[in-house]
Structure 1
Amino acid sequence: MSEAKVVEKAAENNKEPIFKVLEKVIPEKFGADASLSALEISSGSGQHVVYFAERFPKISFQPSDIEDRCIKSIKEYISETKLENVKQPLVIDISKPLSEWSSTVAEKSVDVIININMVHITPWECAEGLFAAAGKLLKVGGIMATYGPYAIHGEITPESNVSFNESLKAKNAEWGLRDIDDLEKEAKKNGLTFDAMFDMPANNKTLIWVKSDSE
């Protein structure tokens, strides 16, 4: 294995459960045979995007990240799997508005946005940027799936998530589990609606957001 290729245990553990949610939601929203475009924000190692692409051959996947080591790892996963429906990764700083992105993604050109394990280990500005970008990039009726641990209506459960939140804040005061209510406010600002929540292993959730026809 090349040194540039990153293997993350968490990604290996959660890729199948997340796929199971996408496998349910995407056909419900778009039909079983739709050809779609998907953008993954903060792709990390690239393990997720190639796993999903193998199982959704009619979806064209665009991975992205801000870290050089992740960009290199994503490229290696693409090269290794030889998947034709995964594009080369873009360098995207999600804390920045679209006008400041070094890579261009056309507005209203994306059907699905995927964001896994990002918002709790980045400053709040990244969550704001994620929803702002989704509001501009998603087509009407498009969806965004976010995955990770969350606070719900001001409460963090179980105790393991409370401890995890404390450990995150100890590493960086700007990190921490985000409350679904706060994320919903950002969604509404950007024309998205909180559509569904799925319970996941290890006390995580997958949240589904839908782009409405109003800005």
Structure 2
Amino acid sequence: MPSSVVFYGVDIRTREELIPVYEDAFDKDGEFVLRMARELNDITNLRESPKQLWYSSMAQRQAAVSYEETEKFYTELTNRIKRLLRFKVREHFVRNLSEKAQEFLSAYEKFLEYKIREEEIKHSNILEGLEILSAQSQVGKVVIFCGPMHYYALFNSLKNDKRLFEMGITLGNADITKLLNAMLPFTQKNRIMQSNYDIALDITGRRKPQRFEVPGAVIIPS
């Protein structure tokens, strides 16, 4: 058993500010995907299509369709879009999807900015706790409790922080792959939203800003 435990957290205001920003990105992503599906269906019929609308607004808090059904639809949709964007038909998608892609990009990048700020607060709180514990010579091992979806973002940010080395702390790693795989049905929407970000960047001819090339900008570990 560990000698000590570190809990991290953020203030209520920071969390409350993040929620509506996430909901807006969620909604804009849904509009973007539906538009992609319509444009793709005009060119070639989709083999997979949901029996009912997979997307429901965040405000309604509805479960849309089964995970298996939605996964097949999404996989075919995104694979075809990515493939067709490399050919002459790219102009068609750029012309008809640019507006929705830009709306989604604006909402999603705003969400990432809030998320990164929240991750920085967590990181700072953890370091503060570790500094206190490292000053206590009797402390042998420390466990940091975090949610599974936050694990890799926190681990990757901490392992690159030289202050841990200065405190004489060695960072261990836990394999939570099986846990994350078991959570796939519940994290699918965020995985798709993260994937759609790359598609939207491609459609608008933009590169991902350097400020989003950080662990805190990853919402679902790949």
TM-score, normalised with respect to structure 1 = 0.26
Larger RCO (CA within 8 A; separation ≥ 6) = 2
Q: Name whichever structure is richer in helix by fraction.
A: 2
The structure having more radius of gyration, on CA atoms, is 2
Q: Name whichever structure is richer in strand by fraction.
A: 1
